[in-house]
């Protein structure tokens, strides 16, 4: 049970990381360098 919980958290953090990466990329395109 504990391992499955950790794997779920890992998947969620990966998804959040991808979303943040895309969001920051869009933000960087909008704002001047």
Give CA–CA dist 32/4, Å, rounded: 43
pLDDT at 32: 64
pLDDT in tens, 1-33: 578 988 999 999 999 999 999 999 998 887 666
Can you read off the two tokens belonging to residue 8?
């779920």
pTM of structure: 0.56
The pLDDT value given to residue 8:
93
Six-digit token string for 33: 């360098």
pLDDT of residue 28: 87
pLDDT at 33: 60
- Tell me how far apart the alpha carbons of residues 7 and 2 are, in angstroms, rounded to a whole number: 9
């Amino acid at each position: 049970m504990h391992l499955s919980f950790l794997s779920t958290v890992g998947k969620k953090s990966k998804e959040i990381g991808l979303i943040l990466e895309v969001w920051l990329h869009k933000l960087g395109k909008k704002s001047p360098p």
